[in-house]
A = this chain, B = another copy of it.
Amino acid sequence: MTTQELVDQIHKKQSFLCIGLDTDIEKIPSFLLEEKDPIFAFNKAIIDATHDLCVAYKPNIAFYEAYGEQGWSALRKTIIYLNKNYSDIFTIADAKRGDIGNTSTRYAKAFFEDLNFDSITIAPYMGRDSVEPFLQFKNKHTILLALTSNDGAFDFQTKKFEDKELYKEVLSVSTTYEGAENLMYVVGATKAEYLKEIREIVPNSFLLVPGVGAQGGNLKDVCEYGMSKNIGLLINSSREIIYASDQEGFSNAARTKAKELQQAMKKELERLH
């Protein structure tokens, strides 16, 4: 999917919601455990109930890897289902990979070609040659961790690095990478006050913002400081939506939560755009 197609979807759906598919066997409705593939059954129900309210889904790969071959099979079925039935959806493999060149190429092929995701999250610590292999794929997007929403972000990311904080150095340096036009960034919403400075470095890039809701971020602030002329925001919510209920009507409950967020986003789009 091109960036412009993503922007078009945001306008069409009046939503920049990304739903995180952090699917956990211990948290899904227990009656689904009778299904042949409970993880896929859960994902399918959530997707069918919410696809018109969001523009992206983000399976967190750890949750699938935790179930080994079965988890990978459920992940594969989920992405095939999305690509087949909802080709207007932007798909994100939340993998946070990053390795030396030939290994990064492996990961890029696995997620972009084999599984056919639109994008993948990548950790920046290993630098240029760990990121560039992902940037060579046309119409595929690499979402680099810049400023994460967890407490550990203060360990290194926000410390001063020569004359600026590490996360700003990551943003700046990454814009010089070959294929940098395919970069997006993870920016935790719990630090909305940082967004203004981030926008000075990457004025037009898409930002994937976790942490609105459960992790304490504020939608209005994020939009105020983070929205670009092309919107440039994907706001992720995972547990609050997908685990809204563990009873029969769980997918409707997820829809209700997603709708609340979509409506709030619609307001922000009307207010700021």
- Mark A residues whose CB is within 8 Å of B: 22, 60, 62-63, 65-66, 68-69, 72-73, 76, 96-101, 103-104, 106-107, 109-110, 114-115, 123-131, 145, 148-157, 159-162, 166, 169-170, 173
Contact = CB atoms under 8 A, between A and B. Distances in A.
Given A69-B72, A110-B66, A162-B160, A127 B98 contact: no
A195 to B, nearest CB: 19
Contacts of A63: 103, 106
A3 to B, nearest CB: 25
A63 B103 CA distance: 7
A66 B106 contact: yes
A127 B157 contact: yes
A206 to B, nearest CB: 20
A159 B161 contact: yes
Contacts of A103: 22, 60, 62-63
Contact of A169 (B73, B153, B159): B159
Contact of A150 (B62, B127, B152): B127
20 contacts: A62-B97, A62-B103, A62-B107, A62-B110, A65-B110, A96-B98, A100-B149, A100-B150, A123-B123, A127-B151, A127-B156, A127-B157, A128-B151, A128-B155, A129-B151, A129-B152, A131-B152, A156-B169, A159-B169, A161-B166
